[in-house]
Each structure stands twice: as C-alpha cells, then as structure tokens.
Structure 1
Amino acid sequence: MARDYYEALGVSRDATADQIQQAFRTLARKNHPDVNKDPAAEDRFKEINEAYHVLTDPETRKRYDRFGEDYRQVPDDWEQRVGAGVGGGRPGGGRVRYGQGFGGAGGINIEDLFGEMFSGGGGFGPIPGADQEAVLELTVEEAYRGGKRQISLDGRSYTVDVPAGVIDGQRIRLAGEGGRGSGSGPAGDLYLVVRIKPDSRFRLVGRDVSVDLPVSPWEAVLGTTVAVRTPSGEAKVKVPQGSSTGRRLRLRGEGMPNPHGAAGNLYAEIKVMVPPNPTARERDLFEQLAAESAFDPRRGR
C-alpha cells in the first residue's frame, strides 16, 4: 500500500485546508528537485504533491478518508447510488476490507458496495469499466497557457483541453475514455496526470514561480528597473537600491493562473554578478571604490 497521504504531509487526519497547504509549501520547498539534489527528493516531491491535490479537494478527500488507496476505483456519486445500507457482508463470501483506519468508519466492504451499486443487492449485473491513468508531460509555458493538445495513447488519439494554470500532479479527466465495461456497463474514465518538465529558468512551488534575476554590482547598489522572464513573457521589475544576492522581489499574480481563485506570484531572486574579466579601467575603478568604501560585507555594514 502507498504511504498514507496524511503521513506524507505530516498532518493529522482532521487537519484544515490551510494546515494542509502550509505543510505542502514547507515540504515542497525542501524537496523540490531544483533545490534538493538528493536523488530521492524528486520522488518525495511527487508524493507530497499528489497528497496535496487529493486532500485539498473536499470530495476526493472524503472518498480517500473512506476507502484509502482504493478511492480512485469508487465513482464520485457512490454515496447517492449506494445509500446507507452497504456493508453487511455476504454469506460464504470473502470479506476484503479497505480503508480501515481511514475516517473511523471501520472499513468498507468493496464487494458489498459494488454488488449494491450494480445489481440492487443480488449478484453482479452490468459492470462499469475501470478508470485508467496516463502521464501528460507539459512545459511550464504550456501549463501556464493551457489550450488544446493532441496526444496519442495505445494507438488512439485524443484532443485534450488543458486548463490554463495546471500544476504538477493535477489530474485531467477524459470521461468515458477508460476501460470498457461489461454487459451494458459504462466505460471508465481516463485520467491524465500532469507532469511539468524541469526548466532551468523557472522553479515551481504550487502556483508560485521563482526565477533568477542577474544584476550588476552597480545596479544592485544604485537600484534600477530591469526585464525579467515570466511564463507569460517579459515583465519589468524594480530593483531597490542596496539589493544583495538572495533578495526576493515579488510580482503579485505573475505566477501560474488559478481558474478557481487567486493566481500564484512570481519571485525574482537577485544574483549580483561581477565582470569575469574586468578591463584595466574597471579594475582601477573597483580599486578606488575599495579604498573609499568602509563597507564590510562580513559584518553587514
């Protein structure tokens, strides 16, 4: 069984949405492959990302709490279709209980659940097809813009409507494109799990985007306005005077779009760059500055 999502995020089972988000942000910054070079960090990042998306969706979280790792096999409307009478067991039938320890319900008998759903309590009738998953790889810019995308899987072609602002681990549902049902049972759904390709320019944490902003020593000291690359193109950012390497400048709303709320932010992280091969005149000016300035970077003044 996969690791429990609550355990992966280090939160309790009654954690609020804000607590889950805060835990995700903390762990994502620590385990992002661009920051953590441990070979296992990428797998940990994917794990906490999946846990975050499941536990921040109220309906998906409810199914996960009830069925554990088998939550994907249970239709969204299982509560309406089954009602309160599921779970009684069948004479002579093996009872495989899923979800023990999830939500305190004592486990759910999947056999009883599906038997009730498909045949009104007496034997299997038409059986829906299984849901299936596939990976959809996108660049940061593709994820930012969204739009139509043509993909091929197992010899079949699909037109996928990618929402603007999808993030790593998000699932896109293609209704009826999963496994075939038996009898008159409907086909399952195909879920495309978004994987955003690593990018040397952009670092993503949730919907926030971080980029490096190289500046010269005089730009850092005197302040300036420079162009910075964002997933949507070029933007202008004001560098305050006296900026050192590591200072982060926030461009509100310039991160990944969010169709259900506020967009993420873009953070431009200053990196002061020096001339790699200074000319004689540049060396002379820097020597004059060294003789004139009382600034001590190791003391911060």
Structure 2
Amino acid sequence: MAKDFYAALGVSRNATTDEIGQAYRTLARKYHPDINADPGAEDRFKEISEAYQVLSDPGTRARYDRFGPDFRQIPEGAERAASAGGPRGANVHFGQGGGIDFEDLFGGLFGAGSGAGRMSGADQEAELPLSVEEAYRGGKRQVSVTGRGGREYDVAIPPGVTDGQRIRLAGEGGRGRGGPAGDLFLRVRIAPHSRYRLDGRDIHLVLRLTPWEAALGANVPVTTPGGEVKVRVPPGTSSGKRLRLRGEGMPDPRGRPGDLYAEVRIMVPPKPDRRERELFEQLAAVSDFDPRRTR
C-alpha cells in the first residue's frame, strides 16, 4: 500500500524543515527499537526514518513532491523537462528508501558515536525494590532484573539510599550499533514497612508508652533500622507529641544524616488485673486532672 511521507511524520505538505526535524525526533524517541520493544516499532521506525531522509533534503523533497512514488526513477533530464512545464502535483506514494546517516539524523539524541552510521545504545531503567533496613545499611548484593534473561548484577548500594534514587550500572543498557552500550539505571523503590515511615532521610515511628512512663518520664529503648537507641521521654508527655532524635535517621555518605521522629501513643492494659485496677481507682479518686477541660 502506498504511503504518504508527510503523513508518516504527521506534518502538513507546507511544513518547514524545522517542523519536519522536530516531528522526526519526537517519533524517533517513541519508536526506536532500542527503546520500544513493540514488534511493530522497528517497521514504524524505518518508515519515519525514510520519510525524514526524503523530506529533510530540499532537493529530494522537491523531486518527491513533483513526481510522487517514482521520483527516484525519474532521470535528471526528465526532471529538467518537468521544471520547464511538465506535470506537477502528482499523488504522493511510498518509495524505496536508502541508508541513513544516524549521526546526522539523531545528532546526539541517542548518544551517536563519531563515525557515520554509528549509534550508542539507549539507556535503560529498571526498579530495585529494597526494605528500609537494606536501604539504611547499603552494601553489596546480587540483583536479577526482570526481562533481561535472568542475568544477575553485582550492585553496590550506598548506605542511606532514598526512594526514587537511581544507581547506575555503566554499559549494561541497550546495545549500540557500532557504538558503546548504554547504561542501566536501577531506580530504588523502598517497600512500605510495618514500623517505619520514611520522609526523605527522616524516619518516623510510633513510640508506645505506659501511662506512668508518660506521666513520670522515662528513658525508653527504641528499635531503629540502625539498631537500638534510647529515647528520653519528658514527664507529662501526652499522646501525639513527637520526640526528635537528631542524626538517627537514614545516613547520608555525602552529608548530614536524617532525624528520627518518635510519635507518642499512650497505651493502657487491655485487661487490668485486680491490683492494677485498684491503683487506677485510687488515682482517679485523688486526681483532679480533666483532659477534656480547656486550660
């Protein structure tokens, strides 16, 4: 089936050279086979590449506009005759294209190499799921990336890596065509945790206290991804108060670590025994504290 080069790039017949180039670059990013794994992407890429090859050259474009699908078969003499009064406005059809100088066409879009026809491989990205503890500690680990033939990579995870941060594996991306391979970027995704909530490098957790610890104050042990630390609870601490421990959050190899925030939640015995009940009753009898009264 005959095709229209202008339609292939999605531009009008009056499009400027800049508009044609912009349309080609947009479509090339979408359909390049190193980026798009769809079975039809390579054929679509060839189609738009040929369309760009023809329409980006003013002389070739003029011949295509003048003679239609057979413009490559028209002798130079016939072209001059047509210029002198031959037929114009022929229907546009799809012709047989030639080769493409990828460096000229892409101009660094895909990291083209220095030689004509050479092209570096595309960078690729995959997700790297980590627990909070793994992100805190960092270290070496083997990672298998889905869709890459079960291949495993030795990855150095920096301590304190944050959600969304990328780890670069040089030369492990898409293969090049006469040029170097691209890079593989592993984007960190930290899994939700039952105890910790991360906000950048800050760690938030719930600190459960007994009524007497909250009322009298205490030094309470708290488990963090980095180990156990002590939290000083001031006397008269109520539920909802946040206690801040500077520097006890996620580490940062290049700067200051995050902080740890412990949010107080006062817990009571779910089933107080006889003695506990007596003590609570005595407290109720002597105390005039009313948390519902505005102070």
Q: Report the counterpart of residue 264 of structure 1 in structure 2.
A: 258
Runs of 4+ in 1 over 6 A off after TM superposition: none
Summarize the Cα distance change of 1:242–1:115 in structure 2 as closer, same or farther, 3 Å threshold: closer
Q: What's the offset of the Cα at 1:111?
A: 4.7
Match of residue 143 from structure 2: 151
Matches within 5 A, 1:144-293: 144-153=136-145, 154=148, 155-183=150-178, 185-293=179-287
Deviation (angstroms), 1:91? 8.1
- Measure how far apart 1:291 and its partner are: 1.7
Q: Using a 3 Å threshold, how does the CA distance of structure 1 residues 115 and 252 change in structure 2: closer, same or farther?
A: closer
Q: Describe the superposition over 1:27-84 as per-residue Cα deviations: whole angstroms up to 9, x where unpaired.
A: xxxxxxxxxxxxxxxxxxxxxxxxxxxxxxxxxxxxxxxx9xx8xx9xxxxxxxxxxx
Paired residues for 1:115-154 under 5 Å: 118=112, 124-153=116-145, 154=148
SS of the equivalent of 2:277 reads helix
Q: Does the aligned pair in 1 maintain the 2:113–2:119 contact within 8 Å?
A: no
Structure-2 change in CA distance of 1:157 and 1:214 (3 Å): same
Q: Within 1, Cα distance between the matches of 2:124 and 2:109?
A: 21
Q: 1:209 to 1:176 in 2, by over 3 A?
A: same
Question: 1:204, CA displacement in angstroms?
Answer: 0.2
Quick one: distance in 2 between partners of 1:115 and 1:284?
A: 78
CA distance in 2 between partners of 1:181 and 1:119 (Å): 9
Q: Is the Cα contact below 8 Å between 2:110 and 2:120 reproduced in 1?
A: no
Q: Deviations over 1:275-297 (max 9, x none)?
A: 10011221121111112111111
Structure 1: distance between partners of 2:182 and 2:198: 32
* C-alpha deviation, 1:157, in angstroms: 1.4
Q: Is the 8 A contact 1:165 1:258 kept in 2?
A: yes
Deviations, residues 113-155 of structure 1 (Å, cap 9, x unaligned): 33796377xx952101011111111111110010001012222
Q: Which amino acid aligns with 2:144?
A: S
User: Which structure has the bigger radius of gyration?
Assistant: 2
Displacement after TM superposition at 1:112 (Å): 5.3
| Preserved CA contact (<8 Å) 2:240 2:264 | yes
Runs of 5+ consecutive residues of structure 2 not aligned to the other structure? 1-25, 33-51, 58-103
The secondary structure found in structure 2 opposite 1:191 is: strand
Q: What amino acid is the match of 1:228?
A: V
Query: Which residue identity is paired with 1:149?
Result: R
Distance 2:152 2:110 in 1: 35
What is the TM-score of this pair, normalised by structure 2? 0.62
Number of aligned residue pairs: 198
1:144 is paired with a residue of what secondary structure? helix
Query: What is the alpha-carbon distance in structure 2 between the residues aligned to residue 231 and residue 115 of structure 1?
Result: 42
Pair 119,263 (structure 1): closer, same or farther in 2 beyond 3 Å: closer
Of all paired residues, the percent bearing the same amino acid is 61
Distance 1:165 1:150, change over 3 A: same
In the aligned structure 2, how far is the partner of 1:262 from the partner of 1:212? 23
Letter in 2 for 1:172: I
Residues 188-239 of structure 1, C-alpha deviation per residue, up to 9 Å, x if partnerless?
Answer: 0000010111110110000000111111000000000010111101000100
Using the alignment, how far apart are the partners of 1:146 and 1:227 within structure 2?
Answer: 24
